[in-house]
């Protein structure tokens, strides 16, 4: 993919997504019990998973799900996410709306956020919920990885919308990516070369999401963009101090990487690095206090582990009821790997725990 990008034959993410979708067509995942339809919610494509109607006419629970893939890869229609959403719909007897937001490089931030927000707000309209026989008081918003980022950002935005009459009851975030402030948290240092999502790949996803320049990657890696002399970052520093937000079992013996002098021009070129719609972990306490009951799943072998743990702690400090579901032997992305040839026990283990929490709380 990097060779393709270098030769300018196409954007490497377009090629990679093409390969993923081509491979995915070799698999077939279907269900006789769940009705799967494609729709458009306020201009945004979605896939809806509906269990059969019960004779007692009771309204159903619902989950708005936002898929991962670095804001650039995968789809609500791939078998991995199709399978996850189908199993959620079956297990919870819930209507699952899987959002097919537009991807990098077709669009960059904030368009993915706007797509997810528009689709969710459309679904939360009383007449739309009635069309799908959904109980307005039993709706969750959820997502994994970059989808967890979008789910958290959308949930924050919805909580501040005074015109909304219906809001999510829960949010459930699966190994979410929540900040681009510090690429040297203990989990980033510990798992910097971990397969699936090494640190340099996550930094490149951020650069692509912000339509930035790859030449900035090294400066981001050593936290030059949030050095002590970068005034724009100063007010956010206290909101992401992992030395106080992480338990000692996660901090281990790692040391903070804080540059005295850095490059303020990075934030000037990419102001979205400090935009809470892109980095929900930097939200102010007043916004966090408005968040619904929250579930956050983290994995030990994941650069993003500490993003989720710090968000859980900040939400808890703000008075939100939080369940942090940590897996010592699991890795980033594992929850969707439940279909041959990538059917891992870690995927089934995390998926079952996630669905169990939803079933008990939604």
348 and 330 in contact (C-beta within 8 Å)? no
* Domains of the chain, earliest start first: 1-180+278-361 (3.40.50.1820)
330 and 360 in contact (C-beta within 8 Å)? no
Render pLDDT for 274-320 as a digit per residue (tens, 0 to 9): 999 999 999 999 999 999 999 999 999 999 999 999 999 999 999 99
Render pLDDT for 100-151 as a digit per residue (tens, 0 to 9): 999 999 999 999 999 999 999 999 999 999 999 999 999 999 999 999 999 9
In angstroms, what is the C-alpha Rg of the chain?
Answer: 20
What DSSP assignment string belongs to 5-23?
A: HHTTSS-HHHHHHHHHHHH
What DSSP assignment string belongs to 254-310?
A: ------SS--HHHHHH-GGGG-TTT-GGG--HHHHTT--EEEEEEEEE-TTHHHHHH
Q: Can you tell me the mean pLDDT for 207-230?
A: 96
In the structure, what pLDDT confidence band is assigned to residue 207 with cuts at 50, 70 and 90? very high
The residues annotated as belonging to the active site are 145, 302, 332
Q: What is the dihedral of CA 310, 85, 197, 157, to 10 degrees?
A: -40
44 and 119 in contact (C-beta within 8 Å)? yes
């Amino acid at each position: 993919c990097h060779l393709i990008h270098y030769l300018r034959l196409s954007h490497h993410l377009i090629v990679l997504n093409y390969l993923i979708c081509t491979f995915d067509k070799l698999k077939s995942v279907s269900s006789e019990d769940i009705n799967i339809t494609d729709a458009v919610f306020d201009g945004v494509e979605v896939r809806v998973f509906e269990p059969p109607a019960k004779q007692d006419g009771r309204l159903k629970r619902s989950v708005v799900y936002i898929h991962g893939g670095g804001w650039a890869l995968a789809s609500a229609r791939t078998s991995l996410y199709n399978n996850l959403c189908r199993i959620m719909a079956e297990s919870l007897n819930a209507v699952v709306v899987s959002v097919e937001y537009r991807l990098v490089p077709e669009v960059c931030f904030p368009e993915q956020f706007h797509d997810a927000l528009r689709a969710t707000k459309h679904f939360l309209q009383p007449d739309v919920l009635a069309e799908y026989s959904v109980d307005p008081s039993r709706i969750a918003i959820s997502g994994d990885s970059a989808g967890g980022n979008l789910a958290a950002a959308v949930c924050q935005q919805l909580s501040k919308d005074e015109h909304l009459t219906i809001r999510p009851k829960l949010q459930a975030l699966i190994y979410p990516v929540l900040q681009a402030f510090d690429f040297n948290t203990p989990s980033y240092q510990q798992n910097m070369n971990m397969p699936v999502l090494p640190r340099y790949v996550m930094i490149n996803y951020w650069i692509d999401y912000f339509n930035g320049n790859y030449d900035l990657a090294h400066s981001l890696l050593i936290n030059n963009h949030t050095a002590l002399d970068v005034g724009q970052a100063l007010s956010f520093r206290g909101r992401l101090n992992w030395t106080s937000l992480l338990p000692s079992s996660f901090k281990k013996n790692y040391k903070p990487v804080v540059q005295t002098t850095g490059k303020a021009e990075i934030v000037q070129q990419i102001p979205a690095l400090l935009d809470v719609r892109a980095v929900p972990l930097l939200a102010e306490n007043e916004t966090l206090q408005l968040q619904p009951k929250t579930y956050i799943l983290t994995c030990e072998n994941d650069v993003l582990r500490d993003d989720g743990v710090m968000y859980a702690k900040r939400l808890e400090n703000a008075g939100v009821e939080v369940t942090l579901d940590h897996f010592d032997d699991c890795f980033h992305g594992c929850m969707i790997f439940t279909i041959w040839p990538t059917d891992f026990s870690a995927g089934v283990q995390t998926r079952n725990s996630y669905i169990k929490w939803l079933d008990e709380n939604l």
